[in-house]
Amino acid sequence: MIDLHLDGLTRRYGSTVALDDLTLDIGGGTITALLGPSGCGKTTALKLIAGLLDPTQGRVRFDSEDVTDVAAERRGAVMVFQDHRLFPYLTAGDNVAFGLRMRGVPRRERRREAQAVLERVGLDGLAERRPAELSGGQRQRVALARALVLRPKVLLLDEPLANLDAHLREGMRELILDIQRERELTTVVVTHDQEEAVVLAEDIALLFDGRLHQHGAPRTFFEHPATERTARFFGATNLVAGRRQGELVETALGPLRVPDGAPSGADVWVTVRPERLTVAGARGDDRQQVRGRVISSAFLGNRTRATVEVAGARLTIDVSDDALADVGPGTVLTLGLPEEALWSVPRDAPDETWGPEELAAVDGDPDPGVHRDHEPEGRP
């Protein structure tokens, strides 16, 4: 199993900085997602790891070996492109065997190995078809087989699920995970889709504008986002404006005890995932409580979601039990804000480089302390 070390990797195209000083360690045999909106440098990073592109600055190491100047075909890393890049006039079998042919593997052995890998990806019986005679999902599998037949130690996948219909994604995801485990491959998956990153990867590296914003386990991006942009990219819906003063954050909801997240004196958003808010009384003695009025509620099958207006701010709460069964517009609720469920991030000015999904998430009044017509109760 090969550990990957990216050390200050930078790639410029003229005045465009496609990747800016990326330093990242990727554990051997793990699967890491490079995540971020279109144009943030993901494919560039993958090509630099593969050796298909030279960095402007920085080094790539596989374990302790510096491979920055090692040719792509000698690195032991194989990249599967988003658009497959299969040879249209070769059969699936010959597409898969092609790399072995380049390596001088005899014909009989090439066929046997290509056949075995095609079977492994669930395409036995389709070796004689040309790409045009295969579905998009099948072509994606041929591309994966073509990489696997080379027995790489590092597998680099560029948007492997992006061109697949929803019902094909699950199968492809399982296949990638199974093969990755079976072969103990160090795998880097590029995706712009946070859900895909979360279901595929043990670790996520989030890039914006060519720069690494946060690296860690998927859960940390939901619970402890480092920046506002990260919080919004991961779908944070509850953002309450405030100012941190030591351990407390002053907000329209009152002072809240919020662990860590931003320096004292900073303008922050207090964030809390909808499923981490509680209906006070239902789950005992949360010390931080606020009272608010239900604006809307909806039963979503496995949970109920309500939007509650509290002191001019809107909080969304999800519960999976029947604590919200009887609420409707106008119901007054006491919500618990457990300290360990709260987090704060420094407040940014919206940025012209934000993507539509981030801008769409911007709402509410960033000015704390207004519309404060009822006093919250049960404050710390």
- Least gap, CB of 14 to Mg ion (angstroms): 19
Residue 194 partner contact from ligand ADP, Mg ion, none using kind-dependent CB cut-offs of 5 to 8 Å: none
Specify the stretch interacting with Mg ion by CB under 5 A; choose among 41-49, 168-176, 229-237, 356-364: 41-49
Residue 16 partner contact from ligand ADP, Mg ion, none using kind-dependent CB cut-offs of 5 to 8 Å: ligand ADP
Residue 39 partner contact from Mg ion, ligand ADP, none using kind-dependent CB cut-offs of 5 to 8 Å: ligand ADP
- Least gap, CB of 53 to ligand ADP (angstroms): 9
- Least gap, CB of 189 to Mg ion (angstroms): 12
Residue whose CB is nearest to Mg ion in the complex, by number: 43
Which C-beta is closer to ligand ADP: that of 39 or that of 122? Answer: 39
Which C-beta is closer to ligand ADP: that of 135 or that of 353? Answer: 353
Total interface residues for ligand ADP by CB under 6 A? 11
Which C-beta is closer to ligand ADP: that of 19 or that of 117? Answer: 19
- Least gap, CB of 42 to Mg ion (angstroms): 5
- Least gap, CB of 368 to ligand ADP (angstroms): 35
The answer to the question of residue 43 lying near Mg ion (CB under 5 A) is yes
Judged by CB under 5 A, the chain residues 174 through 213 that form the site for Mg ion are none
Specify the stretch interacting with Mg ion by CB under 5 A; choose among 40-48, 53-61, 85-93, 309-317: 40-48
- Least gap, CB of 237 to ligand ADP (angstroms): 25
* Assigned token pair, 270: 């207090």
Sketch the per residue contact string, 4 through 43, with ligand ADP: x for CB under 6 A, - otherwise. ---------x--x-x-----------------x-xxxxxx
Total interface residues for Mg ion by CB under 5 A? 1
* Assigned token pair, 213: 């914003």
Q: 209, 53 in Cβ contact below 8 A?
A: no
Which C-beta is closer to ligand ADP: that of 34 or that of 280? Answer: 34
Q: Which of 301, 358, 310, 360 is nearest to 331 (CA)?
A: 310
Neighbour order of strands in the sheet with 248-251: 254-257, 248-251, 239-245, 267-271, 343-346
* SS3 of the chain: CCCEEEEEEEEEECCEEEEEEEEEEECCCCEEEEECCCCCCHHHHHHHHHCCCCCCEEEEEECCEECCCCCHHHCCEEEECCCCCCCCCCCHHHHHHHHHHHCCCCHHHHHHHHHHHHHHCCCCCCCCCCHHHCCHHHHHHHHHHHHHCCCCCEEEEECCCCCCCHHHHHHHHHHHHHHHHHCCCEEEEEECCHHHHHHHCCEEEEEECCEEEEEECHHHHHHCCCCHHHHHHCCCCCEEEEEEECCEEEECCEEEECCCCCCCCCEEEEECCHHHCEECCCCCCCCCEEEEEEEEEEECCCCEEEEEEECCEEEEEEECCCCCCCCCCCCEEEEECCHHHCEEEECCCCCCCCCHHHHHCCCCCCCCCCCCCCCCCCCC
Sketch the per residue contact string, 41 through 70, with ligand ADP: x for CB under 6 A, - otherwise. xxxx--------------------------
Residue 292 partner contact from Mg ion, ligand ADP, none using kind-dependent CB cut-offs of 5 to 8 Å: none
- Least gap, CB of 31 to ligand ADP (angstroms): 18
- Least gap, CB of 200 to ligand ADP (angstroms): 16
Residue 13 partner contact from Mg ion, ligand ADP, none using kind-dependent CB cut-offs of 5 to 8 Å: ligand ADP
Residue 40 partner contact from ligand ADP, Mg ion, none using kind-dependent CB cut-offs of 5 to 8 Å: ligand ADP
Q: Check residue 209 and give left, alpha or beta (phi > 0: left; psi -120 to 50: alpha).
A: left
Q: 334, 321 in Cβ contact below 8 A?
A: no
Residues that bind Mg ion (CB under 5 A): 43
Q: Residues in the site for ligand ADP, rule: CB under 6 A?
A: 13, 16, 18, 36, 38-44
